[in-house]
Amino acid sequence: MRRSIAAGLAVVLLAPAACRPTAEVAEPVPVTPAPDALAATEPLPAETAAPAPPPPAAPATAASPPPPPPAPSTAAGPGPPPPATPAALGAELARVELAVRDPATPAAGLPALGLAQQVGYRQLAANPGWRPEVLRSVPAPLHGAVIANADAEALLASMHVRRPTTLPKWRIVAPPPADTVLAAHQAAAREIGVPWEVLAAIHLVETRMGRIRGTSTAGAKGPMQFLPATWAQYGAGGDIEDLTAASKAAARLLKRNGINGNPRSAVWSYNHSYAYVDGVLAYAATMRANERAFFGYHGWQVFYRHANGDLLLPEGWSGV
């Protein structure tokens, strides 16, 4: 058994919307500078006072350049607000799912679509009674994806009951480009003979496609979260932090445990939780139904289940 970030720490998992913290950022108090002290001088006697020279002409100055745009925030916070009604949520999920699946959608727009998609499914998982009305707002061909994603979010959330009072000792980085990640998993799948969608789904759940850099409480490392002892068995001498090597190691583990005959048993060998197993397989089934679903998942970010509420740890955040 390998114990990963997803299994050992409260990563990217969902809490009800009522538990969301309110963003209460202390505004800096403006400081008014003290006026310059004025020297108290005696006036010159009238007969000795010299006429004041004319003030020099002010030199011409160039216009000041506009201030640079503010840097993106790297502070942990509640993340974007989710749609507040079932109808609004259904419309939003329809919008993002259709856009993700459209090959004409520019690659630059996919990360924002992925985050909106993720926020929507977190909201739906937190409000299961909304599902019938949400589905009425979503085209029928998308119903399977909506149900699978909401179920997966709820399953993975159920794995963690305790909420830590501290933040993890992770760094959150930008993941490798989507095409690079997809190519790595598909190459490993072809070489070892396993479904690439399962590799991608494990990568999504374990480290959000490589955003999380850190070691789990049990010592699991790398983009696919291997314990060093398990890596020694499946890593084939590669680098545990390298995506290509890690994807192939995961493929070897799954192949040895019968992924092609009994997927649930094989994924259970990766993490001994059937909530984890069914969540991973739900994401994999969504990608199997439409490969472009991968590009939405690639945009999903790191939400951390903290005692004060769910916190988005943005790219650039560090708890180290």
Quote the pLDDT of residue 166: 93
Residue type, 238: G
At 100, list the tokens. 């993700």
Helix (H, G, I), strand (E, B) or coil at 102: coil
Helix (H, G, I), strand (E, B) or coil at 304: strand
Whether residue 295 is contained in a domain is answered as yes
| pTM for the full predicted model | 0.79
At 118, list the tokens. 């993720």
Closest alpha carbon to 6 in 316, 299, 267: 267
Quote the pLDDT of residue 301: 98
Whether residue 22 is contained in a domain is answered as no
Quote the pLDDT of residue 161: 82
Q: To 10 degrees, the CA torsion angle through 189, 7, 283, 107?
A: -80
Q: Is the dihedral of CA 218, 272, 144, 126 positive or negative?
A: negative
Tell me how far apart the alpha carbons of residues 311 and 167 are, in angstroms, rounded to a whole number.
Answer: 9
Residue 73 region by backbone torsions, left for phi larger than 0, else alpha for psi between -120 and 50, else beta? beta
Tell me how far apart the alpha carbons of residues 161 and 122 are, in angstroms, rounded to a whole number.
Answer: 16
Whether residue 282 is contained in a domain is answered as yes
In whole angstroms, what separates CA 23 from the centre of its chain?
18
Quote the pLDDT of residue 307: 92
Whether residue 107 is contained in a domain is answered as yes
Quote the pLDDT of residue 52: 45
Domain count, the chain: 1
The rounded radius of gyration (Å) of the Cα atoms in the chain is 27
Closest alpha carbon to 138 in 106, 84, 90: 90
- Complete DSSP assignment for 205-270: HHHTTTTEES--TT--BTTTTB-HHHHHHHSTT--TT-HHHHHHHHHHHHHHTTTTT-HHHHHHHH
Whether residue 171 is contained in a domain is answered as yes
Cβ contact 247:255 at 8 Å: no
Whether residue 239 is contained in a domain is answered as yes
Closest alpha carbon to 168 in 2, 19, 13, 283: 13
Query: By residue range, what is the domain housing residue 188?
Result: 5-14+74-313
* 140-169: pLDDT as tens digits: 999 999 999 999 999 999 998 888 999 999
Tell me how far apart the alpha carbons of residues 304 and 184 are, in angstroms, rounded to a whole number.
Answer: 27
Residues 6+ apart with CB under 8 A from 137: 86, 87, 89, 90, 91, 93, 94
Q: Give pLDDT < 70 ranges for the chain.
A: 1-73
* 231-260: pLDDT as tens digits: 999 999 999 999 999 999 999 999 999 999
Residues 6+ apart with CB under 8 A from 242: 222
Q: Which helix (H) or strand (E) holds 135?
A: helix 131-136
Tell me how far apart the alpha carbons of residues 277 and 279 are, in angstroms, rounded to a whole number.
Answer: 5
Cβ contact 157:15 at 8 Å: yes
Helix (H, G, I), strand (E, B) or coil at 184: helix
At 80, list the tokens. 């974007």
Whether residue 170 is contained in a domain is answered as yes
> Which residues partner with 172 through β-bridges?
212
Tell me how far apart the alpha carbons of residues 156 and 159 are, in angstroms, rounded to a whole number.
Answer: 5
3-state helix, strand, coil in the chain (%, to 5): 45, 5, 50
Cβ contact 185:198 at 8 Å: no
Whether residue 60 is contained in a domain is answered as no
At 184, list the tokens. 């790595």
